[in-house]
Structure 1
Amino acid sequence: MGALSNLRVIDLTQVLAGPYCTMLLADMGADVVKIERPGGDLIRSNPPFVDDADEEAYGGYFQSVNRGKRSLELDFNDEDDRDDFLSLVEEADIVVENYRAGTMEKYDLGYETLSEHNPELIYSSIRGFGDPRTGETHRQGQPSFDLIAQALGGVMEITGHEDGPPTKVGPGIGDLFTATLNCIGILAAVNHREQTGEGQYVDTAMYDAMLSMTERAIYQHSYTGEAPSRRGNSHPTLFPYDAFETADGYAVIAAFGTNHWREVCEAMDRPDLATEYPDAADRLEHREQLREEIAAWAEGIETETLVDTLEGRVPVAPVQSTDEIFEDPHVRDRKMLVPVEQPGADETVEIAGSPIKMTETPPEPGRRAPLLDEHREELLKDGELEPADPETAADD
């Protein structure tokens, strides 16, 4: 039984941000019921597939963030389906949705309506620009995706090389970080309800989340009056803290402490640099010259040699490819690759595991994502929300 096995979540979300939030809850034991529009979540058909997209129920995108959930297909334009939805809400703890502001109200299924049916309900939304209930803005109602959030929130402006264009971060952090914050808000609301019996509205905006993530740029601008911009892989106030090209790849070195700096100088056989630049302020002032010294040393040796030379003495690591991540024993030891069934392919695939580790109630991300409408009979049996059976809920 997971830490959240007492919670029932009605999941109205699709694509990435909302499903990732509810996936975190499902991994920790919550019974997550994914309510899907007619035809299902928009990303069910997104690649990659193991072999045949026509035979497989969904691609890797959907599998990765919808594992461990139950599926029910409902059409909110249909009165009977709306009634079925309300019957589920009455027995639920949490509703999560990531529509544009005002969408649920069009079906008379907004927070105020649902809380009348279940006064202790926690209603949570993830939107590009938040909800008027928690702070009205002219941007609400506009569509938003990860790229939009990264652009507006300052992430792209401070990502990339100094002489290059603004660059998005590879993973969809506009979705994923927002989803994680929303999950924290939901759990805080659950704790509040335990103390007071009150439900409430939880709202997290992608723009707001990105601004929170770029906290360094915010305080730098406030303190100095200057707008930070791109610095490549370096740090604005710490040195050395950068990626360096080696003979066969790249390695990162974070040696901004004086003790670490001495170790780097020793490895480079340059004790003169440790003597000439003993203070962090000196090293920061002469960072360009010193970066060239380290770069010249690094490019003459292989990544493995560089890492082996400094590891244990200086924070250092190779820049790994995904192939190398799959081969790293740490990843297996920490159960960060999880095998799941791929319906229609007759084999298993691997998805990212849960980074949340707990000694008594460890998260269990091992059940595959549901087929569309797979759990209709068990969910609507006798008009009540039946509990999930962890042994059979995701079986064919």
Structure 2
Amino acid sequence: MSHSSGEAASGAAPAGALEGIRVIDLTQMLAGPYCTMMLADQGAEVIKIEPLEGEGTRAGGPFRDDDKLQAYGGYFASINRNKKSIALDLKRPEGRALVLRLCRSADVVVENFRAGVMEKLGLSYETLRQENPRLVYASIRGFGDPRTGRSPYTDWPAYDPVAQAMGGIMGITGPDVDTPLKVGPGVGDLVPAAMAAYGILCAVLRAQKTGEGQYVDVSMVDAVLSLCERIVHQRSFQGTNPRPEGNRHPLLSPFGMVRALDGWVTIAAHSDEFWKTLCRLMGRDDLISDPRMADRHARVANRDAVYEAVGEFTGRHTKQQLKELLGGKIPFGPVYQIDEIAEDPHFAVRDMIVEVEHPGCATPVTIAGVPIRMTATPGSVRHRAPLLGEHTDQILGDIGCATEEISSFKQAGIVR
């Protein structure tokens, strides 16, 4: 388990690949903050602009029992690490003027308001582009921005379940054809967040070459559909309308989840080579020559028989026993809960569970680590999520505001 407090635990952390990139973060909830977190993890300077009362997820919890301050909960802590915070009033012209000044020295602006909100604030892409032609402006909205294609649903509000529903993932997830299910994590937010981060970096690379920024538009629904790409080709190539398949793959077998004595495991032994290996490990050489299972097409056509044979074997062993029997020999993995993840050495050696200090708590909390690994410029969790307005003075000082000016802004209730 790696450790990070206010700074890196063992001296200065190596510079991230995005060091020198300044991001103005006007996002909220999950999709936008996760996108900017990805940039911050790789070394970008992310300046989170919050309302004077703070972004709403600060107060949403969950809070640890020993948290005496409750400045922010686990939700905010997890996806706002490595960022700086400035609190200002966007409803005041002085507050909006400060955003314009910040954007003059920025490389990127990210927001996930509903379409038209930034225009009403006088902070549209076109306005900011006049201030800084090389600026990359990114938005994440439920159905995209009219600039790249006006959806009939442009003005609809959307959250994760809406994107999951309309993007197709719910329609192929569930125990049977009549029971669609929401996917556990907020993929309707997280997938567009990752795609927006990718789009931003593409646009930044081009801006560095040409001096010209551009608008990056990601629709949450579009992003989920791209994740479900196989339903598009299945409809085109097979004339099918895919429905929930339970815990099995519709085109590969065995390729899914089966019961163990104490839970569930996954097996992907769909190729002839892996199938033969699995049969021998199960002590079922007879299945290799069974015409119902002789090749990958037969195994798909006779999925029930295949899963019955595999499940009969796995159901007599614990997850740990199956890990020892099958792990490394065929594609195999036990279905983990977070307690098991926390105990598995893989996640420790990969720094995927990271300790950070938490204001108000005597001991550190843990959040998820950085999955993108680079040898020369490793991303990292360098510091905890910021307190509200923790960096206001520093950020305003960096754009030329004198101490007296900052004080007057605070006294007037423009910044905090």
**One-letter amino acid of the counterpart of residue 69, structure 2:** E
Mapping of residues 201-240 of structure 1, within 5 Å: 201-240=215-254
Aligned-pair identity in percent equals 48
Q: Which moved more, 1:257-266 or 1:147-156?
A: 257-266
**In structure 2, what is the equivalent of residue 259 of structure 1?**
273
* Contact 1:149-1:206 at 8 Å conserved across structures: yes
Q: 2:350 aligns with which of 317, 323, 334?
A: 334
Mapping of residues 50-65 of structure 1, within 5 Å: 50-51=64-65, 55-65=69-79
Structure 2: distance between partners of 1:289 and 1:327: 35
* Contact 1:151-1:157 at 8 Å conserved across structures: yes
**In structure 1, what is the equivalent of residue 87 of structure 2?**
73
**One-letter amino acid of the counterpart of residue 342, structure 1:** H
* Contact 2:68-2:361 at 8 Å conserved across structures: no
Aligned-residue offset at 1:54: 6.1
Structure 2: distance between partners of 1:163 and 1:173: 21
1:324 and 2:324 aligned: no
Q: 2:26 aligns with which of 8, 12, 25?
A: 12
Structure 2: distance between partners of 1:343 and 1:327: 26
Which is bigger in relative contact order (C-alpha 8 A, separation at least 6)? 2
Normalized against structure 1, the TM-score is what?
0.95
Q: Which moved more, 1:216-225 or 1:177-186?
A: 216-225
SS at match of 2:57: coil
**In structure 2, what is the equivalent of residue 294 of structure 1?**
310
Q: 1:164 to 1:308 in 2, by over 3 A?
A: farther
* Contact 1:154-1:214 at 8 Å conserved across structures: yes
Q: 1:281 aligns with which of 293, 297, 321?
A: 297
**One-letter amino acid of the counterpart of residue 368, structure 1:** R
* Contact 2:111-2:139 at 8 Å conserved across structures: yes
Structure 1: distance between partners of 2:135 and 2:19: 17
Specify every segment of 5 or more residues in structure 1 that has no aligned partner in the other structure, as ranges: 387-396
**One-letter amino acid of the counterpart of residue 255, structure 1:** A
Structure 2: distance between partners of 1:112 and 1:163: 47
* Contact 1:243-1:250 at 8 Å conserved across structures: yes
* Contact 1:338-1:351 at 8 Å conserved across structures: yes
Specify every segment of 5 or more residues in structure 2 that has no aligned partner in the other structure, as ranges: 1-14, 403-416
List structure 1 runs of 4+ shifted beyond 4 angstroms: none
**In structure 2, what is the equivalent of residue 161 of structure 1?**
175
**In structure 1, what is the equivalent of residue 371 of structure 2?**
355
* Contact 1:56-1:345 at 8 Å conserved across structures: no
Aligned-residue offset at 1:373: 0.8
Structure 1: distance between partners of 2:256 and 2:46: 42
**In structure 2, what is the equivalent of residue 310 of structure 1?**
326
**One-letter amino acid of the counterpart of residue 70, structure 2:** E
**One-letter amino acid of the counterpart of residue 20, structure 1:** Y
Normalized against structure 2, the TM-score is what?
0.90
Aligned-residue offset at 1:3: 0.8
**One-letter amino acid of the counterpart of residue 322, structure 1:** I
* Contact 2:66-2:362 at 8 Å conserved across structures: no
